[in-house]
Structure 1
Amino acid sequence: MCARRNAPSAECRRPLPRLPLPPMRRPMRIAASCNNNNTASSSNSSSSTNVVHNKKPKASRADPILASLSKNALRMSDVQLLHGPHWLNDAILNFYFAYLEEVKYKSNVDFLFVTPEMSQCMLYMDDKELHGLLVAQNQALRKPFIFMALNDSHSRDRGGAHWSLVVASRPDKSFFHFDSYGGGNTNCSLELINNIKDVLDMQHARFRGMRCLQQSNDYDCGIHVICMADQLTDYVNRYDSVDGVQPLHQDVIKAKRNQLIKLVASLGQHI
């Protein structure tokens, strides 16, 4: 495993072990469309930052929509993944990153949140496409902190098995990678970083694989990404830096599924 919980330094000092990844728990719905109309989430979007509940996608009796933020809807089948020992799909991570943007950090102009759908697209875009995508966000090219949820899929159309978190930090002049499963997503994170660093004008930024709490099973990687996003955004809000953030505690991971269920229920009251 990558780290002890009380390690004095957050950064890994030795190579992470490569562990076998679990089989995909559920197909991701990332295949949507990789175009500039499907933009990343920005905490300084020019559109309204209020909770928006679209009429599309349409609810069905078999699998009704329980909550929605902008274009990110959670159906009953998605929320059921939170009730048991299940791998989280992209719909849940898309929804939570939209929540960070539109609710929790709607007044923060320093953060950009990139959903799994968009990080997957960014792996395959050329510089022109990436520039157009990021320019669509208000000052996105100059955001000090960019949080990207990353999956290990190597296809636009097929889902992978593992989630991790990449953070681009201009103040730290670094790309940070947080991986709860022995560095299994390191190669994918490097592919993403190499594809976006020129457009972000961060060619000389360091790659830093970070010491973090390791998951104790084969399905909690998505929960780890969500909890780490929470911890990082809170830490950065106070210190204007990613450097120095400490690993999560296991109690945070254990409590998060119930917290997410309550969050969905609260936001679902507006539908």
Structure 2
Amino acid sequence: MVKKITIGKNTEKRTYEQKKDGEKSNDQNEKEKTSVTETIKEKEPDDCNILEYHGTNIRQSDLTSLEGENWINDCIISFWLEHLQRVTFCQNTQLLFVSPATTQLIKIGDKKDIPNILNHLGAWHMEYIFFPVNDNELVDKSEGSHWSLLVYSKNDHTWYHLDSQRGLNNKHARCLMTRVNAIMEGETPPKFVVTNCTQQDNGYDCGAFTMLHAQEMAKKAVEKLHLDTCEVSTLEASKMR
């Protein structure tokens, strides 16, 4: 059973504020991990379902994650990717948007399960696969502080990583890539490219940018455009809430 990922509240903000104030920050790969501080209130008994959308349940508390400076949680991101799959890009059968929970299972779950997971998704028949990457490294705890997007292009034989905080999630994206590469056929593994993408100007919009980058990269994929750059509007990111 995959434990639901809930984003913490303080790590990304502290990283951003330290850079802004000129304080010395730790190496990205050794940044301090904090336990999850609730982005939203713990689900109470009366925290009822607002919407069920193809396996994604949205509760009132999930909607709270869209307010103010709260961090957008995994349920909202899952809903958005499902919407891209079934509505926005429903005519294109070569795009696959993987849920946050499934991505996390591939990244830190039992390696023996990965082939079955990807086969079940029909991943090997897709030209482009979109993974929302979270920096949680614990299987048994809901802990995490940052979202980014990893896109696999079969045509380019390349992984593209889009991180709105200057590569903060590179280690976690590479971990996911390495696990998938291990079961791919072919002698030469796909390369890893850091896509030049729009950066957030605050400490809480990583989820919004991950969703917006997924939409924009899918548009570029459909139009057969290069995926090494992805410019979006910071205003549009704020409108994602």
1:163 and 1:185 in contact (8 A); partners too? yes
Q: What displacement does 1:26 show?
A: 3.2
182, 206, 211: which is aligned to 1:198? Answer: 182
CA deviations over 1:42-61 (Å, ceiling 9, x no partner): xxxxxxxxxxxxxxxxxx87
The TM-score normalised by the length of structure 1 is 0.70
Per the normalisation by structure 2, the TM-score is: 0.78
Q: Aligned equivalents of 2:239 and 2:38: distance in 1?
A: 23
Report the CA distance shift for 1:242/1:132 in structure 2 as closer, same or farther (over 3 A): farther
Structure scoring higher RCO (CA < 8 A, sep ≥ 6) equals 1
What aligned pairs does 1:44-123 form with structure 2 within 5 A after superposition? 62-123=46-107
% identical equivalent positions: 25
Q: Give the aligned length.
A: 209
The amino acid that maps onto 1:231 is: E
Query: Map of 1:1-271 to 2, 5 A cutoff?
Result: 18=28, 24-26=36-38, 62-125=46-109, 128-138=112-122, 140-158=123-141, 159-201=143-185, 203-239=188-224, 241-257=225-241
Check conservation: 1:97, 1:114, Cα contact below 8 A.
Answer: yes
Q: What residue identity is the alignment partner of 1:167?
A: V
Report if aligned partners of 2:194, 2:228 keep a CA contact under 8 Å in 1: no
Give SS of 2:230's match. Answer: coil
- 1:171–1:25 CA distance, 2 compared to 1 (3 A): farther
CA gap 1:64/1:190 in 2 versus in 1, 3 angstroms: same
Letter in 1 for 2:192: F
Larger proportion of helix: 2
Contact 1:93 1:226 in 2 (8 A): yes
2:58–2:76 CA contact under 8 A, matched in 1? yes
Q: Tell me by how many angstroms 1:104 deviates.
A: 2.0
Q: Is the 8 A contact 1:166 1:176 kept in 2?
A: yes
For residues 239-258 of structure 1, what are the alpha-carbon distances to aligned partners after superposition, in whole Å with 9 as ceiling and x for unaligned? 2x44254321222112221x
Q: For the residues of structure 1 that align with 2:206 and 2:73, how far apart are their CA atoms? A: 10
- CA distance 1:27–1:196, change in 2 (3 Å): farther
Structure 1 match to 2:17: none
Q: Separation in 2 of the partners of 1:154 and 1:135? A: 24
Note the residue ranges of structure 1 that are not aligned, 5 or more in a row: 1-16, 29-59, 258-271
Give, in angstroms, the shift of residue 231 of structure 1: 0.7
Query: Could you tell me how far apart the structure 2 residues matched to 1:242 and 1:114 are?
Result: 21
Structure 1 residue 22 displacement after superposition: 8.7
How far 1:233 moved relative to its partner? 0.9
Q: CA deviation at 1:237?
A: 1.2
